[in-house]
Chains A and B, each alone.
Chain A
Amino acid sequence: MARLWLAAAALAAFTAGPALGKTPAAPAKLPDWGGLWEPEGTDTAISGLPEAATEARAEGKTPSGAGGSFRPLFGFAAPWNEEGKRRQALRQTETANCRAQGWGFPMMMNADAPIQFFVTRDKVLVINAYRDVTDVRMAAKHPSQDDLWPTVWGDSIGHWEGDTLVIDTIAVKNPHEYFHGAPPLSDKAHYVQRIRMDKPHHLVNDISIEDPTTLTKPWTAHLTYQPAEGFERMVYDTYDNDRTECGTDSGIAPSKVGQ
């Protein structure tokens, strides 16, 4: 009898969902977002630069999209307040040539490195080739302030609204220090993404960011993704040939490998 009671209690605990609030209901059929995705307009050439820009320059033309307009999360058009403007200027002067460990969040959602979505009922993982991972728990609440664990990918919870995945992210630590191109938001920033497939082979992501430390009002950006071609192996290994020196634009040193 006692064993039966324990089994019933265990079943009740399992079906009650995680401790951080009841898991929001998932749609009857989860969407298929399989494959690799890249932001539209960021297809990368062998130069490491955007392909459209490389093509234009090879033909002696000025590329369109100069200044990163294809990559809104760089933040050139964000509603920065004075602190945000100060950080934005500082970012550009201090981080030239600095080594980046990856893209972090939110830049991994607007990066060249393709992303994959692994969608299950209790979790969504967004992964790129630099091993950045946004781990989205399908939970109703973030951990309490005492239990928060700030990381460069933040703490994310999600739920479905029909075919739209809503991801709520907080506690993103030093995004612009992890990757110098990232917007210089504070760790108080609150990010909400609404991701859906609006037509076959096309995802859209409406992202809204609030940060009283650096922004005058919510910053919104509209990202779109197309299938990424040729990245099926997603191979990325250690930095063993880093020739640049943080804080300089002095050039690339002579060969360091196999000499």
Chain B
Amino acid sequence: MRLSVACAVALALCLPAIPAQAHHSMAMFDQSKTVTLKGTVKQFQWTNPHCYIQLMVKDASGKDVEWSLEMGAPMYLYAKGWRPSSLKPGSAITVAINPLRNGEPGGIVLTANSADGKQIGKSLARTS
């Protein structure tokens, strides 16, 4: 029995990342890396199957680069205190992301803070 459980765990760890929600695998994101980005919101897309933040970020040479930052489905954001109006174009924000593995300017948003350092939405911790 111990062996079969161990095999199951090993199998599970080898398989592609399973999504938390109903859309796609998360294998495209490097969940071992966390990158912090500071930028200006171009657009906040309150859409299914995922919300996106289009964020303008200056690269090392000072050039503006548009990042596509994926989030969960709107219902999950809503439950965490986010609303369609939570981000306005032109807002300065800081986000922590897991970047895309392919090196393109994109990733999945772990946390988002406004310019004054305040977390957008509710705390991660459950309230009960």
Residues of A that sit less than 8 Å from B by CB: 42-51, 54-55, 57-58, 60, 66-69, 71, 74, 76-77, 92, 95-103, 111-113, 129-130, 179-181, 227-231, 233-244, 249-255, 257-259
Quick check: A67 and B9 within 8 Å, CB to CB? yes
The chain B residues found within 8 Å of chain A, CB to CB, are 4-5, 8-9, 11-13, 15-16, 18-28, 31, 34, 43, 45, 47-50, 52, 54, 66, 68, 70-82, 96, 98, 100-102, 104, 106, 108-112, 121-122, 124, 126-128
Whether the Cβ atoms of A233 and B78 lie closer than 8 Å is yes
Give the docked Cα–Cα distance between A258 and B11 (Å).
42
Write out the residue numbers on chain B whose beta carbons fall within 8 Å of the beta carbon of A257.
43, 45, 47, 52
Q: Are A99 and B23 interface neighbours, CB within 8 A? A: yes
Q: Tell me whether B49 and A241 are in contact (CB under 8 A).
A: yes
Are A98 and B22 in contact, CB atoms less than 8 angstroms apart? Answer: no
Once A68-B18, A255-B54 are accepted as A-B contacts, the answer to whether A58 and B96 lie under 8 Å apart by CB is: yes
The CA-CA distance from A181 to B74 in the complex, in Å, is 20
Question: Once the chains bind, are A241 and B45 in contact (CB under 8 Å)?
Answer: yes
- What 5 A-B pairs are tightest by C-beta distance, nearest first? A67-B12, A48-B72, A230-B79, A241-B47, A77-B8
Q: Count A-B pairs with CB separation below 8 Å.
A: 193
**A-chain residues with CB within 8 Å of residue B52 when the two chains form the complex:** 241, 243, 252, 255, 257
A49 touches B12 (CB 8 A): no
**Among A60, A99, A231, which residue has its beta carbon within 8 angstroms of that of B49?**
A99
| B42 nearest in chain A by CB position | A255
A46:B72 contact, CB within 8 angstroms = yes
With A228-B79, A229-B127, A241-B49 in contact, is A250–B72 under 8 Å at CB? no
List residues of chain A with CB within 8 A of the CB of B75: 113, 129, 231, 234-236
Contacts of A251 in B (CB 8 A): 28, 100-102, 104, 106
CB of A76 within 8 A of CB of B28, answer no
Whether the pair B28, A57 counts as a contact (CB closer than 8 A) is: no
A181–B15 CA distance with the chains assembled, in angstroms: 11
Query: Are B72 and A43 in contact (CB-based, < 8 A)?
Result: no
* Residues in B whose Cβ lies below 8 Å from that of A236: 48, 73-75
Q: A66 vs B32: C-alpha distance in the bound complex, in angstroms?
A: 13
Is A100 a contact of B111 with CB atoms below 8 Å?
no
Report chain B residues within 8 Å CB of A69.
Answer: 9, 12
Contacts of B27 in A (CB 8 A): 96, 249
How far apart are the CA atoms of A99 and B66 in the complex, in Å?
Answer: 25
Q: Assuming A77-B4, A236-B75, what are 15 further A-B pairs, CB within 8 angstroms?
A: A46-B80, A47-B110, A49-B108, A58-B111, A66-B13, A69-B9, A71-B18, A95-B25, A96-B24, A99-B23, A181-B19, A233-B78, A241-B48, A242-B23, A251-B106
Residues on A with C-beta less than 8 A from B73 are: 48, 236
